[in-house]
Amino acid sequence: MPPLPQPLHQLQPVERNTITELRHAPILETRQLRWPDEAACQAFAAQLAQRPALRHAYLELQGELGAGKTTFTRHLLRALGVAGRIKSPTFAVMEPFALPGLNVSHFDFYRFDADHDWEDAGFRDVFAAPGLKIAEWPQHAGPALRLPDLRLSLTAVDGSRRDVLAEAFSPVGQELLR
């Protein structure tokens, strides 16, 4: 599918508590994807796992409950070689995975309700360390969370189909979309 027109910049609403703020987000590349079923989600995750740039990327996953954020993450982690149970970090907030030559941190900020939660949890150090970071519900982490390399916004079309807007905010994100 050819890329959509590339806007030079976009003002992106970011919801925090009951306040909506605007954060300037230069989008370098955009793709509109359609996953007709979970197998397509799995195939996209497997393809992404092969990209060397993923080893140092920050992925942001957005979408309503049930949109497929955790399902995508499970497929990506499996493709990277994670064995065993992969659970959502909804209550733990972060699940770390140590793979040979790669540390992965999977975050779920759904239960965050204040900006200071980010600082109190000590995640600034985790984000500064090498490795792959994947965040669900990033809008709940507040403004301290940096822009992602790649944002995937998932929308459930029906029980199995998903529309996905992929936005690259860095050269790393662009490399992931190739």
pLDDT (tens digit, 9 = 90+) per residue, 52-104? 999 999 999 999 999 999 999 999 999 999 998 887 766 668 899 999 999 99
Residue 111 has pLDDT above 60, yes or no: yes
pLDDT tens across 16-42, in order? 333 334 455 689 999 999 999 999 999
Q: Residue 13: its pLDDT value, please?
A: 43
Do 108 and 84 contact (CB within 8 A), yes or no?
no
What is the pLDDT confidence band of residue 163, given thresholds at 50, 70 and 90?
Answer: very high
Q: What is the mean pLDDT of residues 143-160?
A: 91
More confident residue, 70 or 143: 70
Look at residues 35, 31, 118 and name the one whose alpha carbon lies nearest to residue 71: 35
Q: Residue 52: its pLDDT value, please?
A: 95
Residue 147 has pLDDT above 50, yes or no: yes
Residue 115 has pLDDT above 70, yes or no: no
Domain boundaries, the chain: 10-18+25-177
Q: Residue 118: its pLDDT value, please?
A: 64
Q: Could you tell me the fold of the domain covering 10-18+25-177?
A: Rossmann fold (3.40.50)
Q: Residue 84: its pLDDT value, please?
A: 84
More confident residue, 109 or 9: 109
Query: Residues with Cβ < 8 Å from 153, sequence gap 6 or more?
Result: 62, 63, 164, 165, 167
